[in-house]
């Protein structure tokens, strides 16, 4: 396994539509392992193929505290969604920033796993947000396009919550610095 270079906002690959994966080759399995390692190393909760310079429809997500519950989704698609939630998002491709984004509260997504099985996931709350954020990457979209109000510097949010005497909870996990 190896760490991959995370592409940053402004790089053209992040604006392109990623291509379907037709066959799960050893190369795709290596890519998935590298993406997980890169995501954990960067302390993110999700990473999509284009973010490591690979224009393929693959995402990895792990929202667990223990960092031991990875989901690897190949050719994922959202098949239904309902409700709304508004909350903080960040992105490993937009380091040091956070913004408020409205997403569905619940989504159902289909995908293929690394063994080639057709899977379905019902996600809600934070996981639903992560799925939506990562799938947007596969279509060339960053959360910053959907931010309500403005984009904040994470240092700014920390200062704000300290001034307000708020706990970390108020600004979201890690002061809103949740990175995908």
- Closest to 119 measured CA to CA, from 136, 131, 137: 131
Backbone φ, ψ for residue 121 (5° rounding): -125, 135
Judged by CB under 5 A, which of 14, 74, 91, 138 binds Ni ion?
91
Candidate ranges 11-19, 88-96, 100-108, 148-156; the one touching Ni ion (CB under 5 A): 88-96
Is 177 a residue that touches Ni ion (CB under 5 A)? Answer: no
CB of 125 to Ni ion, least distance (A): 18
The one catalytic residue among 89, 120, 134, 166: 134
Task: Say if residue 178 is exposed, middle or buried (CB neighbours under 10 Å; 0-12, 13-18, 19+).
Answer: buried
**What token pair was written down for 84?**
């709304």
Is 180 a residue that touches Ni ion (CB under 5 A)? Answer: yes
Give the whole-angstrom CA distance, residue 139 versus residue 113. Answer: 20
> Is the Cβ of residue 61 or residue 171 nearer to Ni ion in the bound state?
61
Is 57 a residue that touches Ni ion (CB under 5 A)? Answer: no
CB of 34 to Ni ion, least distance (A): 17
Look up 134 and say whether it is catalytic: yes
Task: Say if residue 25 is exposed, middle or buried (CB neighbours under 10 Å; 0-12, 13-18, 19+).
Answer: exposed
- Three-state secondary structure call for residue 89: strand
> Is the Cβ of residue 49 or residue 108 nearer to Ni ion in the bound state?
49
Catalytic positions are 134
Interacting residues toward Ni ion by CB under 5 A: 91, 180
């Amino acid at each position: 396994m190896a760490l991959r270079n995370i592409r940053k906002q402004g790089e053209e690959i992040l604006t392109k539509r990623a291509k379907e994966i037709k066959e799960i080759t050893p190369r795709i399995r290596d890519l998935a392992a590298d993406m997980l390692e890169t995501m954990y190393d960067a302390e993110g909760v999700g990473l999509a193929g284009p973010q490591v310079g690979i224009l393929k429809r693959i995402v990895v997500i792990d929202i667990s505290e223990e960092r031991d519950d990875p989901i690897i989704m190949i050719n994922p698609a959202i098949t239904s969604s309902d409700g709304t939630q508004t909350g903080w998002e960040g992105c490993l491709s937009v380091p040091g920033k956070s913004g408020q984004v409205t997403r569905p509260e619940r989504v159902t997504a289909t995908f293929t796993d690394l063994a080639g099985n057709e899977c379905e996931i019902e996600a809600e709350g934070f996981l639903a947000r992560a799925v939506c954020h990562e799938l947007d990457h596969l279509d060339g979209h960053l959360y910053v396009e959907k931010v309500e109000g403005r984009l904040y510097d994470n240092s700014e949010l920390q200062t704000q919550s300290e001034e307000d005497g708020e706990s970390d909870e108020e600004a979201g996990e890690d002061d809103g610095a949740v990175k995908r």
